[in-house]
Amino acid sequence: MMMLSIKDAVGLGIAIAGLLLFLTSFLIVQSQPLAAMGIGVIVSGLSVVLTPLHVAPKRALRESLVVFSKNLDAILESLNVKGKAIYTWINSKPLLMIPLRSRSVSIPPSCNLGLEVIGGEPYLCLEPPLPGAEVSEGKTDEHALTLSEYLVERISAAASASYTRSGNVVVATISYPKLPLSPGRMSVATGSLPSLLAGVLISSEIRESLVFLEERFVNNSLIATFEVISK
């Protein structure tokens, strides 16, 4: 069931008040100016309802993600990255850590954004982009959107998105992804853009750190596999 945002509730409330004003003034009081005012209030309320909560269009959000993935792909290629991405979170903020040399399964306690050597291992630490997730309806945590809420509802980047967890393995299934699948270095290190977003969102949702394992494309669905690791 679609959740009613505060803005929509206020708009509907105004429209209903306008309807009551119209009915009362038209049928009981029989005052044309008041009836017109009632219709004016209805229109004003519905105008609030029709106003989008998110101003940025979904297509623009998807495009910004594509630009991010192209840049990341180029960086990973130039750094000759061999490691697998770690999706983690610090203070409710998602963090993407990519070990540059080898697959690392230990997570450093902190990582400054950019290139950093932690325990002799060079990492590329990024704050993954979630454009449009800053304002989530009725939620206080700015990164509290689930995989489906973000990929399907917020940016319309897939027909459906879900994940299952079995022990330490998390499998995300993204049907009919609209975002391009990266053929470059990104597909090895972080997975394609939908997989990257899945890793970020699932990690934030389950409050666990994930390591990207692999991704497959089966029957118009992208299946990304992650391993849950402890901090």
Partner 1 sequence: MRALLFNAILPLGYGLIVMGLSFLGESRLDVYLSLLTLWYFVLYLIIRPPRRTYDLLGLGLLAMFFYFVTLRILSIIFT
- Per CB under 8 A, residues contacting partner 1 are 26, 32-33, 35-37, 39-41, 43-44, 46-48, 50-52, 55
SS3 content of the chain, % helix, strand, coil (to 5): 40, 25, 35
Nearer to partner 1, 48 or 229 (CB): 48
Q: How far is the CB of 11 from partner 1 (least distance, A)?
A: 9
Helix (H, G, I), strand (E, B) or coil at 226: strand
Please, which contacts does 143-150 make with residues 24 or more away whose CB atoms are closer than 8 Å?
143/89, 143/92, 143/93, 143/94, 143/204, 144/204, 144/205, 145/201, 146/201, 146/205, 147/172, 147/197, 147/198, 147/201, 147/202, 147/205, 150/197, 150/201
Nearer to partner 1, 46 or 206 (CB): 46
| Cα-only R_g, the chain | 23
Nearer to partner 1, 32 or 220 (CB): 32
Of residues 52 and 167, the one with the C-beta less far from partner 1? 52
Residues paired with 225 in a beta bridge: 171, 214
- Minimum distance of partner 1 from residue 34's CB (angstroms): 8
Closer by beta carbon to partner 1, 51 or else 106: 51
Shortest CB 171 distance to partner 1, Å: 34
Q: How far is the CB of 45 from partner 1 (least distance, A)?
A: 9
Nearest distance from residue 17's CB to partner 1, in Å?
12
